[in-house]
Amino acid sequence: MTWTLPEPMLSASVPAPDLRPGWAGEPKWDGFRTLVSVDTGRVVLRSRRGSEMAPAFPEIVAGAAQLPDATALDGELIVWDAAGRLAFERLQDRLARRGASAARAASEWPAHFVAFDLLRLSGTDTTVWPYQRRRAALESMFAGRRLSTPWALCPSTTEADTCASG
């Protein structure tokens, strides 16, 4: 199945944190917006523009074994540097790598997938669910399956005060 990111689900930067009812605030990541889909062992990593990225990120493909079959996540691919800061330039360097070169880069500068939305869960299209239900299901999947590297759950809040203090 081919998935694309629905336009209404794109994030938007705001000059001031004015969190409306029913909205959620999340940090801005310096990475690549990516969709990961797992179907009968086949893993697809697709950029927002539809480019296939799996050959460049073998550690994400291998990590997909932790996910339930027939599941799709929306998130951001990121790479951390040695000081614990986001390293976008390292992430960019990974895109052109394939095969042994991609495996070497994965061991030196491993990518992580920060998940912020659940688009499909075990074959069920969750995009018709309200955000709060999708978020609860995403958190439940992370906890229940004890997802670990390369997966990370994006912090999220529906509390305006939390956004304002960030």
Which helix (H) or strand (E) segment holds residue 71: the answer is strand 71-79
| 4 backbone dihedrals φ, ψ, rounded to 5° | -125, 155
Q: Could you confirm whether 28 is annotated as catalytic?
A: yes
What does the angle CA 45 – CA 47 – CA 48 come to, to the nearest 5 degrees?
Answer: 135
SS3 content of the chain, % helix, strand, coil (to 5): 30, 25, 40
Q: Which residues pair with 37 in a beta bridge?
A: 44, 72
CA–CA separation, 33 and 10 (whole Å)? 9
The catalytic position among 20, 28, 49, 85 is 28
Count of positions (residues) in the chain = 166
CA–CA separation, 43 and 62 (whole Å)? 9
Cite the active site residues. Answer: 28
